[in-house]
A and B are shown apart, each in its own frame.
Chain A
Amino acid sequence: MIGIAAAGLLMFHGRIAGISGIAGGIFRREPGDISWRVMFLVGLFAAGLGWGYFFPQDYLVEIKRSTLALIVAGLTVGVGTQLGSGCTSGHGVCGIGRLSKRSTVATVSFMITAAITVFVVNEVLGGSI
């Protein structure tokens, strides 16, 4: 379904289904380029609202993270995806799907640091931060 939605956005809108890029574009405030971005994100939100009502177990948070850790994580994801111009969807799915060298390098980069971070949190800090 992720692949189908990404393919649909390409075929109908001619856009890459990269969530961080779609979100980042809203802040660039280019006339005529805002509404489809907002509507896509509203669609994501609505999916959670609807699906979560029937299948709340799909949204369970079973890891121990303090509010501070979540804030730091959010900020680094926000800044990092803009600086690196993509996230899991834009680089990892669409970018690798386009056989883009940039996106492949980016995906390897964020996979490595995510694995290192999880190693530190789980093995060094005992699984909660």
Chain B
Amino acid sequence: MKVKIGAFLGGAVFGIGLAIAGMTQPAKIVGFFDFFGSWDPSLAFVMLGAIVVYTPVYRWAIRTWQHPVWAPAFSLPTRKDIDGRLIAGSAIFGVGWGLGGYCPGPAFTSVGAGSQEALTFGLAMLVGVGAYQLFMRIRENRTGGPADPQAAAMIDG
């Protein structure tokens, strides 16, 4: 139960942070990438701020803690190699982010706020996520094992 409530609170704090930061306003996202128009650099500080808070906690926790408070072990990405899927997938994501002005987190929280645009975007996004995962599962079943041996552990984020 506390794990679920903790996850809920984590999502809620994250979501409020996104709104305060301006990540839920597509015009601000587009403005951040509009280098040849009226460039708005503020979102760089949002990402930097989050990284500055996260990094010391991460380094301290994984070095000194045996395990997280509610789980037997940290579930962290293990892959180190840079492959075509990583680069191509991220490139495809970037096109969608620039086109719609939403990345996944702000899409979920903007749907909660009642945005019609976010709902359209978000439903299409879930179709994309679901279709990819379904495709991978069918492929895994056909090859008789996971296409990626440690599929879950390898997810970066």
Contacts and interface: CB of A to CB of B under 8 A. Distances in A.
Nearest to B92: A80
A27 B70 CA distance: 23
What band does the interface of chain B fall in when counting residues whose beta carbon is under 8 Å from A?
35 or more
Given A37-B7, A94-B157, A110-B97, A45 B109 contact: yes
A106 B127 contact: no
Contacts, number: 487
A97 B55 CA distance: 5
A38 to B, nearest CB: 8
B120 A67 contact: yes
A7 B94 contact: no
Contacts of B22: 58
A110 to B, nearest CB: 3
Interface in B18-54: 18-27, 30, 33-37, 46-47, 49-54
A10 B57 contact: yes
B79 interface: yes
Q: Which of B22, B24, B77 has the most CB of A within 10 A?
A: B77
Contact of B110 (A8, A20, A43, A48): A48
Q: Which of A56, A61, A71, A109 has the most CB of B within 10 A?
A: A61
Interface string A17-40: 111110111011010010111011
From DSSP, what is the main secondary structure of chain B's interface residues? helix
Contacts of A98: 55, 58, 76-77
Contact of A102 (B52, B57, B80, B97): B80
Contacts of B126: 23, 74, 78
B67 to A, nearest CB: 7
B96 A77 contact: yes
B130 A58 contact: no
Nearest to B3: A36
B125 A65 contact: no
B53 A48 contact: no
Contacts of B128: 74-80, 82
Interface string A94-125: 11111111110111011111111111011100
A129 B101 CA distance: 12
Contact of A24 (B70, B96, B121, B155): B155
A101 B155 CA distance: 14
Interface string B133-149: 11001000000000000
Interface of A: 1-21, 23-25, 27-28, 30, 33, 35-37, 39-52, 55-56, 58-63, 65, 67, 69-103, 105-107, 109-119, 121-123, 129
Interface of B: 3-27, 30, 33-37, 46-47, 49-55, 57-58, 61, 65, 67-71, 73-77, 79-82, 85-105, 107-115, 117-118, 120-134, 137, 151-152, 154-157
